[in-house]
Structure 1
């Protein structure tokens, strides 16, 4: 696969992360400006933010959990030349699950739906790692 094809889902995941960062900042600033929270109440923690602000903030924070394993795997797959069509297809499934997870978290926050999106992404990422590991460990010695 081309480098562009392999990295396209990574770029979308990064765009999601930055989008949530900007959304979080905007929501926090608006809440503080509207008086929904006092600065001294949030100076040492996140608990005082209104629920909609906290939901977006949590969606942003979640982009530094499972996606870290996705980024590492993509770098390894590129370096070892193991990123093929199956890898790219699964990468897109993972990123789509992260988009769905973030959308649910930042809007309705229906926990069972959010968990479903999370679980789908986790299973796809786990499968990606298993396939990658098998291709590396079962490859004939050079």
Structure 2
């Protein structure tokens, strides 16, 4: 397996790891509050407003891992399916993952909206570039695939 393919799979794994890390942090914040009775389970059956702010931030951050990253996963799988991974795809994939980690860190710490929005938008731009390149490479430049 070529190095670029291995590194792309590692980028995919790093994004999955981020989702798992946020899930664990969210569980560590939520479960003790329910177990201690601080948060009544009936108050969280439908919505999360009964949780303290930190738990809600983690929950929102976790939900966010199933928005743009889904398009990233499809792009990576499409790249792997195509059989060759270019350095440009690799660079864009790792840039997206790095921006997702930055976005998550902002989301669950300071939650400064202007910083969070900037990293989200940068990640979206990188993801759009990745998709644009993939379509160009797979449809226009290599129509035989």
TM range (shorter): over 0.9
Write the deviation string for residues 85-132 of structure 1: whole angstroms up to 9, x where unpaired: 110111010000000010010111001100011001000000000011
1:8 to 7, 10, 13: 10
Match runs of 1:6-45 below 5 Å: 6-45=8-47
CA contact (8 A) 1:82 1:132 kept: no
Write the deviation string for residues 51-87 of structure 1: whole angstroms up to 9, x where unpaired: 1100011111100000000000101011113421110
The alpha-carbon deviation at position 49 of structure 1 amounts to 1.1
Normalised TM-score (structure 2): 0.91
Normalised TM-score (structure 1): 0.93
The alpha-carbon deviation at position 10 of structure 1 amounts to 0.6
CA contact (8 A) 1:82 1:135 kept: no
CA contact (8 A) 1:97 1:118 kept: yes
Q: Which moved more, 1:119-128 or 1:27-36?
A: 27-36
Runs of at least 5 residues in structure 2 that lack an aligned partner in the other structure: none
Structure 1 stretches (4+) deviating beyond 6 angstroms?
Answer: none
The alpha-carbon deviation at position 139 of structure 1 amounts to 2.2
Q: Partner residue of 1:103?
A: 105
User: What RMSD over aligned residues (CA atoms) do the two structures have, in Å?
Assistant: 1.4
The alpha-carbon deviation at position 6 of structure 1 amounts to 1.3
* Cα distance in 1 between the residues matched to 2:15 and 2:24: 14
Q: Partner residue of 1:73?
A: 75
Q: Partner residue of 2:92?
A: 90
* Cα distance in 2 between the residues matched to 1:34 and 1:102: 27
Change in 2 beyond 3 A, CA 1:29/1:17: same
